[in-house]
Amino acid sequence: MTARAERMRGWGFVAPALIWTLAFFVVPFLVMGAMSLATLEGRTLVWGVSLANYAELTEKAYLWRAILVSLEITLTVTVVSVLLAYPLASIIAFRVPPRWQRLALLLAILPFWTSYVVRSYAWLLVLAREGVVNQALIGLGLVSEPVTLANTRFATVTGFVHFFVMLLTLTIYANLIQLSPNYRRAATDLGASAFQTFRHVTLPLALPGIVTGAFLTFVLCIGDYVTPQILGGNTELTVPQVIMVQLGRRADFPLASALAIVLMGIVTLAYLASARWLRLDRL
């Protein structure tokens, strides 16, 4: 077989996937980019190169506010999830006997596979006025009246943290389990306290797992529409919620596209900030 024929055959295998990705991902993406530069005059779409939609983001308070709300929620969720997931992953990796570890990990992340919509609904159920948490608090005599938990930012953050603790436990565990116990033994032999061993040995080595999980958390959290929509009430809107409002009520595709591009810009910045430690290929 000549090199040329061989290459043609290779293309034959790659072509279907390539054409699919170009037609249904790259082209829509480029059209969306062009759409973000178009404008809406009345109800008709005018193609062109205008930065009016991006200017609107800085001029209209509710759009700017949505970007801030999204960032605040996402950063809170990322930090809280890392702080909760690290001890969990560490206990499973270092305390649970090896033969039970796989089972413990599987159990720890099983609810991860509940559908997004169902999981948020389940939290609504737990946090509702008459829900499990309020009934427990009243039963314990901690409060006398039900506390408003659902339809708040607290509920959104709780729903997110629940999901991302599981994701982060997985990435951090995968990292910790690869570390040789000899490193920690050596540190202890050299007189390091438990905290010093953690601070100077385990934590730096676990950083790729933590950063990879934190990056995924950031990306998935900031792009999610379902959790804030179900749990957050409508007191404050995130960027994905504002995008959906543009699509529904006003059919303002140009503004929705501009918001989507901004969202991608934020994700790109997060990627650049964490690229040094990212190990996406190891997942």
Q: Which is nearer to other proteins, 6 or 41 (CB)?
A: 6
Distances (CA, A) of 12 to 6, 9, 88: 10, 5, 47
CB 257 within 8 A of CB 53: yes
* Cα–Cα distance measured from residue 19 to residue 39, given in angstroms and rounded to the nearest whole number: 30
Residue 76 C-beta: closest distance to other proteins, Å: 17
Residue 150 C-beta: closest distance to other proteins, Å: 10
Helices assigned H by DSSP within 95-247: 98-109, 116-127, 132-139, 153-176, 181-189, 194-197, 203-222, 226-231, 239-245
Q: Which is nearer to other proteins, 72 or 225 (CB)?
A: 225
The three-point CA angle 246-247-252 to 5° equals 60
Residue 53 C-beta: closest distance to other proteins, Å: 14
Residue 135 C-beta: closest distance to other proteins, Å: 5
Residue 260 C-beta: closest distance to other proteins, Å: 5
Q: Which is nearer to other proteins, 63 or 222 (CB)?
A: 222
DSSP-derived secondary structure letter, 49: -
DSSP-derived secondary structure letter, 214: H
DSSP-derived secondary structure letter, 279: -
Q: Which is nearer to other proteins, 166 or 237 (CB)?
A: 166
Q: Which pair of structure tokens corresponds to residue 113? A: 């596979």
Residue 159 C-beta: closest distance to other proteins, Å: 8
Distances (CA, A) of 93 to 6, 203, 205, 278, 280: 48, 14, 14, 21, 21
Q: Which is nearer to other proteins, 116 or 154 (CB)?
A: 116
Q: Which is nearer to other proteins, 25 or 183 (CB)?
A: 25
